[in-house]
Amino acid sequence: MGLRFCPKCGTLMTPRVKNGKVYFVCRRCGYKEESKGDSYRVRKETKSRKKIIVIEEDISMKVLPKVKITCPRCGHNEAVFWTMQTRAADEPATRFFKCTKCGYTWREYD
């Protein structure tokens, strides 16, 4: 998900852009490593004019549990799923599904 921890001291590393490349830098000890294989985009903030680095990495297909369910878009019968509390705490959680073939995401309420 773009999070990196320093191999030397264990501190959360922050992304930085230098010469068009993304590096992860440790705030505590200064350790630096180049980002490998992550896609990213740099967004400029209008008020403070600082650059914000957004790390985009789709790991959902790798780590989320798979279930046999029919995709409403392509008809494929396998998807990954996760749950999220989108309504009041006394109501059931919402289940989200993402097709492993076409990537379509849909939700299911109880």
Contact 78, 67 (CB under 8 A): yes
Q: Is 90 a catalytic residue?
A: yes
Cα separations in angstroms, 67 against 13, 70, 71, 82: 34, 10, 11, 10
Of these residues, 33, 56, 58, 91, which one is catalytic? 91
Residue 107 bridge partners (DSSP): 96
Q: Is 91 a catalytic residue?
A: yes
Contact 55, 37 (CB under 8 A): no
C-alpha radius of gyration, the chain, whole number = 19
Of these residues, 58, 90, 108, 110, which one is catalytic? 90
Known catalytic residues are 90-91
